[in-house]
Amino acid sequence: MLEQWLLLAHVVGATVLFGTGAGIAFFMVMAHRTRDPILIAHVAGTVVVADTIFTATAAIFQPVTGYLLARSIGWQLSEGWIALSLLLYIVTGLFWLPVVWIQIRLRDLARAAAASTSALPSAYFSLYRIWFAFGFPAFFAVVGILWLMLTKPAISLF
């Protein structure tokens, strides 16, 4: 019974990570396309809150539920698909952590432009390009993790 609850918690966490990430990306891109500092400031503010509440919480609980689930089932963390999932999780984090800082900075730059009724500064566009580029490796790493979790392929890494 515990195993079923751990599995449910782990799947819900994975769904939240994937869904929130995709949703945040969509809304940030759509807001950015308007070039409207007021709209971007509002959306980016919401994105920062959503990332804090949903993504960060799920990111913390995923390794916990994954570890407990693996122990409950009897899987070793050194099994190829698990080890590769953990590696991809680290890759995701390496791209996500800077994105969090960038989203806060984009929000602040848009708020400043909105308050002064000026156009978005060039720093905003430079950071946005980095934010956009960092989304791709993180997204594909999460897709890879989901695939590994669902298929559990026999992979010999060690």
Which tens digit of pLDDT belongs to each residue from 72-92?
999 999 999 999 999 999 999
Q: Residue 53 pLDDT more than 80?
A: yes
Predicted pLDDT of residue 68 = 95
Whole-structure pTM over 0.85, yes or no?
yes
In this structure, is residue 72 part of a structural domain? Answer: yes
The boundaries of the domain holding residue 14 are 2-151
Predicted pLDDT of residue 157 = 74
Which tens digit of pLDDT belongs to each residue from 25-42?
999 999 999 999 999 999
* Mean pLDDT for the stretch of residues 110-135: 97
In this structure, is residue 94 part of a structural domain? Answer: yes
Of 17, 34, 52, which is closest to residue 128 (Cα–Cα)? 34
Count of domains forming the chain: 1
In this structure, is residue 157 part of a structural domain? Answer: no
Distance, CA of 133 to CA of 153 (rounded, Å): 29
In this structure, is residue 51 part of a structural domain? Answer: yes
With a pLDDT cut of 90, the percent of the chain lying above it is 95
